[in-house]
């Protein structure tokens, strides 16, 4: 019995000795897991904090910009009231009623409105920078670089200084030098918020940077490229010239524009007369009677300036009937608790900004990632970097015309009046904010490249160097100028004649079907190969080509492709 107890004691001691340290190992592993989890959560909350900080800053920037638009539009409206009142004759035209005096007074006031259309929005850009900085945004080099690029473009005499492209005088205001000076003042300080911008418009197809990428990568499903290569007539002569011949300069600040224009006519005065009288009475002013120049003997109305006026009016972008540039009641229901009030359903000026936080502070810092192991080491070693955080926001000047308790949108009449009350944030998914393009989003290199193309007689062997940053665009044009390359995507001279298989393209002889003309299986038909067969399994036609498949999208999901959703690309 004593021997048995002694043996059991030895077994117990041996078991205790073999299990010694296991709890410690489990504890160490738990501590490591908890530490890694804490590290991850700290990184996550840093990103969240960075996103909140960036969004708060860009919201403040958008509001500051919209407030400047409110003040600018109201100031322009006040000048319209002055033009319509008898005070113009007594105070601005020196008490004279001659046509020359009234025209001169009108022109001076209109020039003042043109100045406001440049100065006001840029003041808003400056205010937005300060608002973003006050909310913690730091200098981000790409935004500053984008402003520098824009400034250098405006300074370019071959572009903005070209009188055949840009009007150098707007309503008597020689805008370019003052505009450059204001941009230089803005550019003297680091940019932290990129404003909404309007750029000159030219050929929509060749202004699209994705076209050049599609050409360089042989992506035949790109919609613009497909349209181009299907007709060799698009490449007759020096086809690369004249692609920026039709330019629409907005004739006001391209940063946060107000979308205004200048028009003459008694109709503009007549439709605004009731609102003019109400607003003028609030300012102790008197609206002039309409003077008939054909009856000068009518001395009762001799001092009216109305026939000589040019009014600052809303341009077409303010309309609530312009697709893609207005507020849609149905869309508002997706983002707002209730519909937009009727007096606020209009397009026009808005303030959109983009802010980027360059780096988010990570506790874990950077770390090495070894990729693709092989026998003698690794193919590449990369180092992680903390992510950038980007946020966008949009705000809108809100106002309305009011008469006898009834409110209507401010653009219900053409004349701009001082009726804007406030600036409010709006969802960026609502028009026109969903169409916003912020500074840096447009590729000015394409614009300069297309202007350079106008001077080139041989695109394959140009005698001059393309503008900086546009070498890739030149390579794309040289590929596009090669018919053998184009025909490998779509051969206009090839026609499929059944029966039998399609003859594939042969670059050596420039014959056969291009890539998009080849048959391919219908994604909605199992086992399809794109051919039509007879009862004896002989090929008698084509049912589906790769060109058709470019427009196919899988069922479900968003997008505008015919198959139900997804991008217009080959699947």
Give the DSSP letter string of 534-566. Answer: -TTS-EEEES-BHHHHTT---SSSSSSSTTSSS
The answer to whether residue 373 sits within a structural domain is yes
Q: Are residues 130 and 83 in the same domain?
A: yes
Radius of gyration of the chain (CA): 34
What's the number of CA atoms in the CB half-sphere (13 Å) around residue 112? 14
Q: What is the pLDDT of residue 540?
A: 86
| pTM exceeds cut of 0.85 | no
* Same-domain pairing of 136 and 276: yes
Residue 433 domain flag:
no
Q: Judge contact between 172 and 110, C-beta under 8 A.
A: yes
Residues 6+ apart with CB under 8 A from 537: none
Would you give the DSSP letter of residue 201? B
User: Would you state the pLDDT for residue 365?
Assistant: 43
Taking the C-alpha atoms of 444, 450, 451 and 457 in order, what is their torsion angle to the nearest 10 degrees? 150
559 contacts 553 by C-beta, under 8 angstroms: yes
Calpha distance 129→140 (Å, rounded): 12
| Same domain, yes or no: 417 and 515 | no
Q: Which of 27, 59, 181 is nearest to 128 (CA)?
A: 59
1: number of Cβ within 10 Å: 5
- Identify the pLDDT of residue 290: 66
Is the CA virtual torsion 355, 358, 363, 364 positive or negative? positive
Judge whether 474 lies within some domain.
yes
Q: In the chain, how many domains are there?
A: 2
The residues near 337 (Cβ < 8 Å, ≥ 6 apart) are none
- C-alpha–C-alpha distance, residues 462 and 454, integer Å: 11
Rounded Cα gap, residues 359 and 172, in angstroms = 47
- In this structure, the answer to whether residues 155 and 280 fall within a common structural domain is yes
Cα 71 from Cα 419, distance rounded (Å):
10
**Per residue of the chain (571 residues), what is the pLDDT tens digit?**
555 555 555 555 555 555 566 677 777 777 777 766 666 655 556 667 778 888 999 999 999 999 999 999 999 999 999 988 877 776 665 655 567 777 888 899 999 999 999 999 999 999 999 999 999 888 777 888 889 888 988 998 888 898 877 899 999 999 999 999 999 999 998 889 999 988 666 666 888 888 999 999 999 999 999 999 999 999 999 999 988 766 678 899 999 999 999 999 888 988 999 999 999 999 998 888 765 545 545 544 456 777 778 999 999 989 865 444 445 555 555 667 777 788 988 889 999 999 988 654 444 444 333 333 433 333 344 444 445 788 999 999 999 999 888 999 999 999 999 999 999 998 887 777 777 788 876 567 888 898 899 899 999 999 999 988 889 999 999 999 999 999 999 999 999 988 889 999 998 899 999 999 999 887 777 778 888 888 888 888 888 889 988 876 555 444 433 444 333 333 2
Contact 192, 355 (CB under 8 A): yes
Element (H, E) at 475: helix 471-480
| Residues 530, 522 contacting (CB under 8 angstroms) | yes
pLDDT at 363: 45
- The residue out of 375, 397, 427 marking a domain boundary is 427
Instruction: Classify residue 172: in a domain, yes or no.
Output: yes
Is there a single domain that holds both residue 289 and residue 232?
A: no
Q: Does 384 lie in the same domain as 324? A: yes
Give start and end residues of each alpha helix (H) in 135-195.
141-155, 176-187
Domain co-membership, 116 together with 158? yes
- Asked if 168 contacts 174 with a C-beta cutoff of 8 angstroms, the reply is yes
Q: Clarify whether residues 402 and 277 are in a common domain.
A: yes
Considering the domain architecture, whether residues 482 and 352 belong to the same structural domain is answered as no
Residues 6 or more apart whose Cβ sits within 8 Å of residue 448: 153, 156, 159, 467, 470
Q: Nearest 5 degrees, angle CA 472-CA 477-CA 482?
A: 130
Determine contact, residues 466/452, Cβ cutoff 8 Å: yes
Q: Show Cβ contacts of residue 207 under 8 Å, excluding neighbours closer than 6 positions.
A: 201, 446, 447, 450
What are the helix (H) ranges across 369-461?
Answer: 444-453
Residue 100 lies in a domain: yes
What whole-number distance in Å separates Cα of residue 93 and Cα of residue 288?
A: 14
pLDDT at 224: 92
Task: Tell me what pLDDT residue 455 has.
Answer: 92
Residue 294 lies in a domain: yes
Indicate if 233 and 290 belong to the same structural domain: no
Q: What does the chain come to in residues?
A: 571
pLDDT score recorded for residue 30: 77
**Among residues 495, 494, 512, which one has the least CA distance to residue 504?**
512
DSSP state of 481: T
Distance (Å, whole) CA 317 – CA 324: 10
Q: Where are the beta strands (DSSP E) in 409-490?
A: 420-426
Residue 106 within any structural domain of the chain:
yes
498 and 423 together in one domain: no
The last residue of one of the domains, among 369, 403, 427, is: 427
Identify whether 557 is part of a domain. no
Domain range spanning residue 283?
51-202+248-427
Identify whether residues 253 and 236 lie together within a single domain: no
| Distance of alpha carbon 120 from alpha carbon 122, whole angstroms | 6
């Amino acid at each position: 019995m004593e021997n048995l107890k002694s043996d059991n004691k030895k077994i117990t001691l041996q078991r205790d000795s073999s299990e010694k340290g296991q709890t410690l190992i489990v504890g160490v592993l738990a501590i490591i897991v908890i530490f890694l989890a804490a590290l991850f959560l700290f990184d996550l909350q840093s990103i969240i904090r960075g996103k909140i900080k960036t969004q708060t800053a860009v919201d403040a920037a958008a509001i500051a910009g919209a407030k400047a638009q409110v003040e600018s539009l109201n100031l322009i409206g006040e000048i319209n009231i002055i033009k319509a009142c008898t005070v113009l004759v007594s105070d601005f035209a020196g008490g004279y009623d001659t046509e020359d005096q009234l025209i001169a007074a009108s022109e001076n006031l209109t020039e003042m409105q043109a100045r406001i259309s440049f100065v006001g929005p840029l003041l808003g850009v400056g205010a937005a920078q300060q608002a973003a900085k006050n909310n913690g945004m730091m200098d981000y080099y790409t935004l500053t670089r984008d402003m520098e690029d824009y400034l250098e473009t405006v300074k370019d005499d071959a572009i903005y200084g070209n009188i055949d492209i840009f009007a150098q005088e707007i309503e008597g205001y020689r805008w370019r030098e003052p505009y450059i000076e204001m941009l230089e003042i803005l550019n003297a300080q680091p940019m932290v918020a990129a404003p909404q911008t309007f750029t000159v418009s030219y050929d929509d197809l060749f202004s699209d940077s994705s076209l050049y990428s599609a050409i360089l990568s042989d992506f035949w499903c790109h919609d613009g490229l497909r349209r181009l290569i299907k007709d060799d007539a698009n490449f007759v002569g020096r086809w690369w010239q004249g692609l920026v011949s039709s330019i629409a300069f907005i004739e006001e600040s391209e940063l946060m524009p107000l979308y205004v224009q200048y028009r003459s006519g008694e109709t503009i005065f007549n439709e605004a007369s009731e609102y003019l009288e109400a607003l003028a009475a609030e300012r102790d002013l008197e609206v002039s009677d309409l003077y008939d120049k054909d009856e000068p003997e009518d001395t009762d109305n001799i001092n009216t300036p109305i026939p000589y006026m040019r009014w600052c009016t809303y341009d077409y972008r303010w309309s609530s009937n312009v697709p893609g540039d207005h507020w849609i009641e149905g869309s508002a229901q997706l983002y707002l608790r209730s519909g937009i009030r009727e007096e606020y359903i209009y397009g026009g000026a808005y303030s959109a900004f983009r802010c980027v936080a360059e780096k988010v502070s990570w506790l874990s810092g950077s770390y090495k990632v070894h990729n693709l192991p092989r026998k003698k080491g690794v193919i590449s070693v990369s180092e992680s970097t903390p992510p950038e955080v980007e946020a966008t926001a949009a705000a809108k000047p809100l106002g309305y015309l009011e008469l006898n308790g009834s409110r209507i949108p401010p653009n219900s009449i053409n004349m701009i009046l001082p009726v804007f009350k406030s600036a409010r944030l709006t969802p960026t998914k609502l028009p026109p904010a969903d169409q916003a393009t912020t500074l840096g989003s447009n590729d000015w290199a394409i614009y300069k490249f297309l202007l350079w193309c106008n001077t080139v007689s041989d695109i394959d062997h140009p005698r001059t160097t393309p503008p900086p940053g546009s070498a890739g665009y030149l390579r794309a044009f040289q590929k596009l100028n090669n018919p053998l390359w184009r025909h490998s995507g779509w051969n206009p001279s090839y026609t499929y004649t059944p029966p039998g298989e399609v003859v594939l393209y042969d670059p050596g002889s420039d014959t056969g079907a291009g890539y998009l003309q080849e048959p391919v299986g219908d994604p909605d038909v199992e086992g399809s190969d794109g051919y039509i067969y007879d009862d004896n399994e002989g090929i008698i036609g084509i049912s589906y080509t790769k060109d058709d498949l470019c427009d196919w999208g899988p069922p479900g999901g968003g997008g505008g492709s015919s198959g139900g959703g997804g991008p217009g690309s080959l699947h």
